[in-house]
Chain A
Amino acid sequence: MMNSMHMREAVKAGDLLPLADKERPRVGAALATLFLSILFLVLPALAARAMDIQQVTSPKGITAWLVEDYSVPIVAVRFVFDGGSTQDPVGKEGLANLMTGLFDEGAGPLDSEAFQIRLDDAGAEMSFEETRDGVYGSMRMLAEQRDEAFDLLRLAVNEPRFDQAPIDRIRAQILSGIIATENDPDTVAQHKWARAIYGDHPYSRSDQGSRQSIAAITQDDLKTLHKAVFARGGLHVAVVGAIDAETLKKKLDMVFGDLPQKQALTPVADVEPKLAQRLEVNYDLPQTSLQLAWPGVKRKSADFFPAVLMNEILGGGTFTSRLYQEVREKRGLAYGVNSSLVNQDHADALIVTTGTRSDRVAETLGIVRDVARQLAEDGPTEAELAATKKYLIGAYAISNLDSSSSIAATLVELQLDDLGIDYMQRRAGYINAVTLDQVKAAAKKLLTAEPTIMVVGPPLAGAGKG
């Protein structure tokens, strides 16, 4: 399961997945990051049944948030260490990604084969992945085989072996993935986008790495990164399911208690995405993709909630957003159109994506820009704002609490953002307190900027086939 992250499978996903009516298009890899839960986070209106989150601190001082629940006999664990692919040394891009592929490939006394057999016998699923800013681990286990599962997690976290054979195998799989997309216009475009937006900031680099950079990675590099990142100082943990606080304390000490105290991370500078650029990747495609970037807003900023409400109204998660109505419903220009506020640790942006038939690109781009301009000039209506507040307040449970794993993931993000264990109770208040003038100000501030626009498709000049 874990390795699938590094490969482009020849599986016919189209056959496996029914056609959903209204899918959101992909956001480009270059800017893609944690879509902060915050986009949807709020307390369910039914606070009467608010989730009971316990803060548990182990004897060795490891803290976790726990939601104890016995209705399904499983336990879901999610944790994160600060420092993801931004920590890749220059020339060794792809290091964090390769590392996350190796935690179930041998640990402690167990080689790759033995570890995977034990994991399978323990009835558990384990996965690791990196983002630009963090290395995440997840585990899902059956309550009755909890002990074996936690023991394997302890080995993976503390004593990954990084044996040469699995290094070479996983590296070869990642390399295949890199080569496979070298001529894919979407991938080419996302690399171009990242370089244009971020210049020489680490965010501009490919987290998969390049042919050359992954070839340069050694076992020592992996051990060094593991040691630098896997330390208690940068750790956040959440656990959901059939386990009580006392048992969890023992497990926390066992899994994380012997890690070093301090991380050794390379500092990463903040960066403003470079706007007002026009990027074109010319390729004779039946449909042209469009991606636009406006300035974003920091998670800690006072403008955050006004901007979140503004983004929902512009093109957020509902079928009632302005972009959805104008681009898709009224004109049939696109299947998918949406906007996202992307928050990373060191950069923020508002990204709009859509795609349309090549001869309708100019019209579609015009509509998108008009919708943004109009929102910047006039702001939303009172009615739109009221409806959007209701949406954001009600959407929390549905978007973020629909399984043990998603609850655990949500609790980790809340800790990362330092929002407090009672945040869910406070959130509706933050949203309700936002005024129309604040949303108007956020729209003006973000959407009057000249966006960076990328067009992937046949050349625009002299329309028609390129």
Chain B
Amino acid sequence: MTFQAEWLQGTLLATSLAFTLTGSALADSAVPPNTKSAEFKVTDFLLDNGMEVVVIPDHRAPIVTHMVWYKIGSADEPPGKSGIAHFFEHLMFKATTHHAAGEFDRAVSDIGGSNNAFTSYDYTAFHETVAPSALEQMMGFEADRMRNLILTDDVIKTERDVILEERRSRIDNNPQAVLDEEVDATLWQNQPYRIPVIGWMQEMEQLNRIDATAFYDKYYRPNNAVLIVAGDVEPAMVKALAEKTYGKVARGPNLPPRIRPVEPEQNTKRTVTLSDARVSVPSFSTQWVVPSYHTAKPGEAEALDLLAEILGGGNRSRLYQALVVQQGIASSAGAYFQGTMLDDTNFTVYGAPRGDAKLADVEAAVDAEVARIASGGVTADELEKAKDRYVRSMVFARDKQDSMAEIYGSTLATGGNVQDVQQWPDRIRKVTADEIKAVAARYLVLACSTTGYLLPQQQAGN
């Protein structure tokens, strides 16, 4: 897709196994035998100040991906301060006591590198991709901005305007995004995942220097950070450089465990409807609260991953085959599960009609497939093929250095460890058909779900 026009990329979904959703990676065991494959060995260690370090060697190209993950995301924000985690991520690109604003960006572009950052519910990550010779310099910059930012009211005000424009472009200009935001706020009755990562507009408008400083001092500490280095490096060198740079940053106070409000029992079926003149084809999605890799009992999250794959992971899935191919009533239908989360997460099914079919018929057909898998389970053949797809997707993931870094980073930032990542393929292999049927029956209960409808202006809701 490298040379695809950007607008087209935007319409492309991840392949049947979206890696970002599975907290998975390749262990040696998943490498097919009889292939001449370089050894793939991940090293992890702690610095004296509590910073975790993971090194993933990949010597194919003279490139290194350097990422700092902070175990702080939007779900950790204080009440009334939604958007501060993401806002702070932006502020991390401003001046420090050692470097003028823009100096870090210039240093990266001067060597032809790329850099960026992102914020999610459970983590905030900063990353640079550079030649290995620049690794120490990158570490120096990251270690510096971990503690030495200079935040002024002017800087805050201008950058706050930027995030407000970001919200307008991502959410407010887009009816689907507006609906999704309010579906989340309805599905989650207590857990902070109900609040959008980017924040509610009226709270974003009020974020200020005092909020930012308090947030910085509490969370931007080496003992709350994970360093991931993937690429053309050796662990010993990474360790020496990390000690020289990050190792000099003082450990912060111990942070309390990340215990957030949890979801009460869900007892109702809720619907959220948005009609908009820009919509000409209706669509729906139904979501349930389910455990994540971090909150699930052993094997449950793996079973949910395979359930999502078999039910609606790609064009061989039940939903696609039944609704799009056989019945011919849908233009799209599928399911997904976001396993890599600190708290309970969501399982989603979705669909949109085609031709003369009605949205209600598509929804009924999706519900019927969900009911069928919950009562009848999956076949041995479906299960084997889904497992094969997962295992091969991990081989493909190894081909992209930054995907490997993201798999480890997101897992470690959501309560997992290196072993969890490495043993994941074996755990997937162990899942039985009965376990998949059990999680479907236990969690995918329509009476306790939230459905969002995106409808054309003139169409009444269901």
A258 and B169 alpha carbons, distance in the complex (Å): 49
A116 and B320 alpha carbons, distance in the complex (Å): 13
A169 and B331 alpha carbons, distance in the complex (Å): 9
A393–B278 contact, CB under 8 A? no
Residues of A within 8 A of B331 (CB): 7, 172-173, 176-177
Contact with B along A385-400 (1 / 0, CB 8 A): 0010011111111111
* B12 interface residue per 8 A CB criterion: yes
* B89 interface residue per 8 A CB criterion: yes
* A302 interface residue per 8 A CB criterion: no
Binds A, one of B55-63, B145-153, B241-249, B290-298: B55-63
* A275 interface residue per 8 A CB criterion: no
A1–B15 contact, CB under 8 A? yes
Residues of A within 8 A of B400 (CB): 402-403
Nearest first, the 6 closest Cβ-Cβ pairs linking A and B are: A394-B112, A332-B161, A73-B35, A32-B5, A176-B331, A287-B168
* A370 interface residue per 8 A CB criterion: no
A169 and B157 alpha carbons, distance in the complex (Å): 52
A383 and B141 alpha carbons, distance in the complex (Å): 22
A402–B63 contact, CB under 8 A? yes
Number of CB contacts from chain A to chain B under 8 A:
329
Taking CB as reference atom, which chain A residue is nearest B33? A144
A70–B38 contact, CB under 8 A? yes
A325–B102 contact, CB under 8 A? yes
Known: A176-B352, A320-B109, A404-B399. Contact between A16 and B18, CB under 8 A? Answer: yes
Instruction: Select which of B5, B11, B280 is within 8 A of A4 by beta carbon.
Output: B11
A131 and B9 alpha carbons, distance in the complex (Å): 12
Contact with A along B354-373 (1 / 0, CB 8 A): 11000000000000000000
* B315 interface residue per 8 A CB criterion: yes
Instruction: Select which of B314, B324, B332 is within 8 A of A169 by beta carbon.
Output: B324
26 CB-based A-B contacts, threshold 8 Å:
A1-B314, A4-B11, A9-B11, A9-B334, A10-B351, A12-B348, A19-B86, A21-B116, A21-B117, A45-B131, A71-B60, A116-B315, A120-B389, A177-B331, A180-B280, A183-B278, A242-B36, A325-B102, A333-B161, A355-B169, A355-B173, A395-B109, A397-B112, A399-B114, A401-B61, A403-B401
Interface of B, secondary structure class, is mixed
Q: A residues touching B (Cβ–Cβ < 8 Å)?
A: 1-5, 7-12, 14-22, 24-29, 32-37, 42, 44-46, 49, 69-74, 76, 112, 116-117, 120-121, 123, 125, 129, 131, 140, 142-144, 169, 172-173, 175-177, 179-185, 190, 242, 285-287, 317-320, 325, 328-336, 355-357, 387, 390-406, 409-410, 413
Known: A10-B285, A183-B277, A332-B158. Contact between A405 and B59, CB under 8 A? Answer: no
Instruction: Select which of B4, B113, B171, B283 is within 8 A of A398 by beta carbon.
Output: B113
A454 to chain B, nearest CB (A): 15
Instruction: Select which of A11, A18, A37 is within 8 A of B336 by beta carbon.
Output: A11
B67 to chain A, nearest CB (A): 12
A285 and B174 alpha carbons, distance in the complex (Å): 9
* B209 interface residue per 8 A CB criterion: no
B8–A5 contact, CB under 8 A? yes
Residues of B within 8 A of A10 (CB): 176, 283-285, 332, 350-352, 454
A356–B110 contact, CB under 8 A? no
Instruction: Select which of B31, B120, B165 is within 8 A of A335 by beta carbon.
Output: B165
Q: B residues touching A (Cβ–Cβ < 8 Å)?
A: 1-8, 10-16, 18, 20-21, 31-32, 34-38, 58-63, 86, 89-90, 93, 101-102, 105-106, 109-120, 123, 125, 129-131, 133, 157-166, 168-173, 176-177, 180-181, 184, 197-198, 277-281, 283-285, 314-316, 324-325, 328, 331-332, 334, 336, 338, 346, 348, 350-355, 385, 388-389, 392, 395-396, 398-402, 454
A328 and B159 alpha carbons, distance in the complex (Å): 8
Known: A9-B332, A402-B63. Contact between A32 and B8, CB under 8 A? Answer: yes
Instruction: Select which of B6, B118, B354, B398 is within 8 A of A27 by beta carbon.
Output: B6
A406 and B9 alpha carbons, distance in the complex (Å): 14
A82 and B156 alpha carbons, distance in the complex (Å): 51
B399–A72 contact, CB under 8 A? yes
Residues of B within 8 A of A20 (CB): 116-118
A357 and B101 alpha carbons, distance in the complex (Å): 25
A27 and B334 alpha carbons, distance in the complex (Å): 28
A72–B395 contact, CB under 8 A? yes
Instruction: Select which of B32, B279, B454 is within 8 A of A183 by beta carbon.
Output: B279
Known: A179-B281, A320-B105, A396-B112. Contact between A15 and B3, CB under 8 A? Answer: no
B281–A180 contact, CB under 8 A? yes
A319–B105 contact, CB under 8 A? yes
B350–A21 contact, CB under 8 A? no
A177 and B330 alpha carbons, distance in the complex (Å): 12
Residues of A within 8 A of B38 (CB): 70-72
A236 to chain B, nearest CB (A): 12
B184–A15 contact, CB under 8 A? yes
B162–A335 contact, CB under 8 A? yes
Residues of A within 8 A of B112 (CB): 42, 44-45, 390-398
A440 and B168 alpha carbons, distance in the complex (Å): 36
Residues of B within 8 A of A26 (CB): 6-7, 10
Residues of B within 8 A of A4 (CB): 11-13, 332
Taking CB as reference atom, which chain B residue is nearest A181? B280
A142–B5 contact, CB under 8 A? no
B350–A27 contact, CB under 8 A? no
A32 to chain B, nearest CB (A): 3
A205 to chain B, nearest CB (A): 15
Taking CB as reference atom, which chain B residue is nearest A184? B278
A73–B395 contact, CB under 8 A? yes
